[in-house]
Amino acid sequence: MSERPLIGIIGFFDDPGTLLEATRRVRDARYRDFDVYTPYPVHGLEAAQGLRRSPLPYVTLVAGVLGCLLAFLFQYWTAAVDWPLNVGGKPFNSWPAWVPIMFELTVLFAGLATAGAMFAFNGLPNIRRKAFDPSLTRDRFALVIEAPLPDEEEERASAHRSFDRDEVARLLSELGAIEVRPVYAEGWFGA
């Protein structure tokens, strides 16, 4: 039987303060591929990981403006160009009457684009990975330093630290992890 591929090394922590400091130190140690799992949001964790600001608000803004603009143009075209009707002496392009439709399409486009972009940016659905531990986000804090895939090892830039299994386990223990263990791929969920 062939050996299961190593996904990474996971360290479990007791409290969010220790996890936050460990995350900063792992980032400062120049590990590139690591992730943090918590049962609730921890303030400052994204800064400790060195994550960039999400482009999701810009997607929402562009989609909302596009929805509003399309609603306006469609109503203008139908009321003033395609089938102009003089109703009570109102001008053909009476835009205040169109505001409810413009608002609804703004919300619709922004909401759908945000949901779609969130799935795309997060790489979801991700059927190739499964939970490392059943209680991972229920009552435990964890930090996983991922091992590179075999074809990625040569491509790693010198600016990032190489992955040494024993060194990573020792680092997580020194940072206050109460339990450290390797994570292997299982079945077809493998990396």
Q: Closest Cα to residue 82, out of 71, 98, 93, 90?
A: 93
CB 137 within 8 A of CB 37: yes
pTM score of the predicted model: 0.71
CB 56 within 8 A of CB 121: yes
Per-residue pLDDT tens over the stretch 173-191: 999 999 999 988 764 444 4
Identify the burial level of 136 via C-beta atoms within 10 angstroms of its C-beta, where 0-12 means exposed, 13-18 middle and 19 or more buried.
middle
Q: Bigger pLDDT: 111 or 156?
A: 111
Side-chain half-sphere exposure of 109, counting CA atoms within 13 A? 19
Amino acid at 98: W
Q: pLDDT value at position 190?
A: 42
Q: Is the sign of the CA dihedral 108, 113, 116, 121 positive or negative?
A: negative
What is the spatial order of strands in the sheet that 34-37 belongs to? 34-37, 141-146, 6-13, 179-184
Q: pLDDT value at position 155?
A: 54
Amino acid at 8: G
CB 186 within 8 A of CB 73: no
Per-residue pLDDT tens over the stretch 102-153: 999 999 999 999 999 999 998 888 776 667 777 777 888 999 999 886 655 5
Angstrom distance (rounded) from CA 120 to CA 1? 36
Buried b vs exposed e over 169-184: b needs ≥16 C-beta within 10 Å? bebbeebbbeebeebe
CB 96 within 8 A of CB 79: no
Q: Bigger pLDDT: 148 or 19?
A: 19
